[in-house]
């Protein structure tokens, strides 16, 4: 990952705007995936210990995964278009703080209507699909 350029002050929309699990986001969603998807024996062990067979904890975990994916999708679409949060907000007819909130992995208020508005403003469309639950 490229080192940040500290020779200039970043604009507010360039700053990380959220924390996940008490850890400040470093600007990459690869980091977020490691927080939510067990990819090693040790992480699987931790998942089993903290979440295990508890249906409530499993549901909370799955909801968090969806929120992270929605935030990642919005961030990736915006940055691929080369837009700041402020520029995207203007296209969508909302505020930069609303875009920041939508890109926050801890935010769980994503609506299909807003996702569609943003995708449309970027010349894209949203597609959803369902996959089988993994066997426990």
Residue 41: pLDDT above 50? Answer: yes
State pLDDT tens for residues 79-124.
Answer: 999 999 999 999 999 999 999 999 998 888 889 999 999 999 999 9
- pLDDT > 90: what percent of the chain? 37
Is the pTM higher than 0.85? no
d(CA 108, CA 52): 23
- What average pLDDT does the chain have? 76
Region 8-35: what's the mean pLDDT? 42
**Residue 19 β-bridge partners:** 24
Domains of the chain: 25-121 (1.10.260)
Residue 126: pLDDT above 50? Answer: yes
Helix (H) or strand (E) holding 48: helix 41-50
One DSSP character per residue, 51-108 reads TTT-HHHHHHHHHHHHHHHHHHHHHHHHHHTT--HHHHHHHHTS-HHHHHHHT-TT--
């Amino acid at each position: 990952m490229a080192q940040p350029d500290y020779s200039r002050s970043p604009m507010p929309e360039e700053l990380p705007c959220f924390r996940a699990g008490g850890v400040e986001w470093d600007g990459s969603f690869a980091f977020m995936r490691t927080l939510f998807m067990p990819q090693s024996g040790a992480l699987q062990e931790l998942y089993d210990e903290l979440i295990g067979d508890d249906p409530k904890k499993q549901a909370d975990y799955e909801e968090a995964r969806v929120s992270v994916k929605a935030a990642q999708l919005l961030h990736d679409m915006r940055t691929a278009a080369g837009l700041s949060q402020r520029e995207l907000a203007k296209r969508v007819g909302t505020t930069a703080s609303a875009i920041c909130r939508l890109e926050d992995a801890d935010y769980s208020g994503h609506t299909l209507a807003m996702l569609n508005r943003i995708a449309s403003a970027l010349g894209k469309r949203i597609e959803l699909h369902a996959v089988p639950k993994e066997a426990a």
